[in-house]
Amino acid sequence: MSHYAEHAPHGPSRRPPSDLVVGVADQRHAEGIAALHAAREGVPVEQSRSWAQRALDRTGERSYLVVAETGGRVVGYGLAGWLDSETAPQGFYLLGVVTDPSFRRMGIAHEITLQRLDWIRERADEAFYFANAANAATIDLHARFGFREVMRASEIAGVTFDGGSGILYRATLTANPHPGASSGTWAVTVGSTGVRFSPGPGEASVAPPDAAIKAVLADGSEVVPRMEVVSDEDGGGFWHRFDPPLADGSVIYLNGSAIMTVGPAAP
Ligand SMILES: CC(C)(COP(=O)(O)OP(=O)(O)OC[C@H]1O[C@@H](n2cnc3c(N)ncnc32)[C@H](O)[C@@H]1OP(=O)(O)O)[C@@H](O)C(=O)NCCC(=O)NCCS
């Protein structure tokens, strides 16, 4: 397994298997987690078994391990926990997420990250993670959760980086529930190419996932969007783009509720 996923900002994204289950890991998952860890890190599986067992044994108030499973097979895992280090802020961190290469771009790492952030949110009002500056895929994955760069360094919390540069990120966590769970917290703007969700004042900048949004066209067919993050300079928020662009009369749904209708362009 190559170390980083190839950076492919425009997908393709795929639907996850219908029996996918994402939740807290337990002893049954030890071997599957070890196999994924060994493939990703390029280490012997015995070494990864010890790593997985330590992660499972540590699970508790300060450490959390989430696993994704389909057809009895572990296809992803993600770790979160408390870090106390001299070279990074003390706090709760996302400590690595891996998806089996055959199951990538199905939203699995997104869901694993969502669940880890929910766990951190119960304990703190901020979360950190760090990544190799060259790992654009993971940086894109986390951007959706409102992470902002704090610093770059050659070593963060005892970790050094191939290529020499790591980036520490921080996100503010508020009592905001799952992305998109309450449309009331979003300022929603509609345009012919998509819908923009901007967090309200004091709200966490967490985007509703594409799966929470759909457009129903005038002929009754449904279209799902693709999300891109809009920079703060452009007003911030999250555009969910539709391709082809939406015709007048298309109705936008968030979490199953119609929230607006695309109207004619202003003269
Ligand atoms: C990074 C990684 C965990 C992503 O896993 P995944 O399950 O494929 O990710 P998801 O399907 O949940 O992707 C969610 C979003 O992240 C971003 N993303 C994920 N993979 C990407 C890639 N290769 N290129 C660009 N963006 C990517 C996209 O915004 C994606 O949303 P979209 O599919 O709607 O465009 C996976 O590629 C992996 O295991 N890489 C190797 C291990 C690693 O680098 N882990 C992170 C550091 S520990």
Residues 201 and 141 in one domain: no
From 40, 65, 105, the mutation candidate for ligand 1 (largest count of ligand atoms within 8 A of CB) is 105
The proportion of the chain whose per-residue pLDDT surpasses 90, expressed as a percent, equals 46
pTM: 0.74
Indicate if ligand 1 lies below 6 Å from the C-beta of 12. Answer: no
Q: Considering the chain, what is the average pLDDT of its residues? A: 82
Residues 165 and 202 in one domain: no
CATH code of the domain covering residue 138: 3.40.630.30
Residue nearest to atom 21 of ligand 1 (CA): 137
Residue nearest to atom 15 of ligand 1 (CA): 141
Query: What's the pLDDT score for residue 26?
Result: 95
Query: What's the pLDDT score for residue 39?
Result: 96
Residues 212 and 85 in one domain: no
Indicate if ligand 1 lies below 6 Å from the C-beta of 224. Answer: no
Which carries the bigger pLDDT value, residue 218 or residue 66?
A: 66
Q: Is residue 13 part of a domain?
A: no
Residues 151 and 193 in one domain: no
d(CA 173, CA 111): 16
Which carries the bigger pLDDT value, residue 44 or residue 146?
A: 44
Which atom from ligand 1 is nearest to the alpha carbon of 7? Answer: 24
Residues 215 and 102 in one domain: no
Domains: count for the chain:
2
Within 8 A by CB and 6+ apart from 240, the residues are 194, 195, 196, 197, 208, 210, 213, 225, 226, 227
Q: Is residue 6 part of a domain?
A: no
Q: What residues make up the domain containing 198? A: 183-261
Lowest-confidence region among 88-97, 107-116, 158-167, 184-193: 184-193
Q: Is the dihedral of CA 256, 145, 12, 73 positive or negative?
A: negative
Indicate if ligand 1 lies below 6 Å from the C-beta of 213. Answer: no
Which atom from ligand 1 is nearest to the alpha carbon of 144? Answer: 29
Q: Is residue 8 part of a domain?
A: no
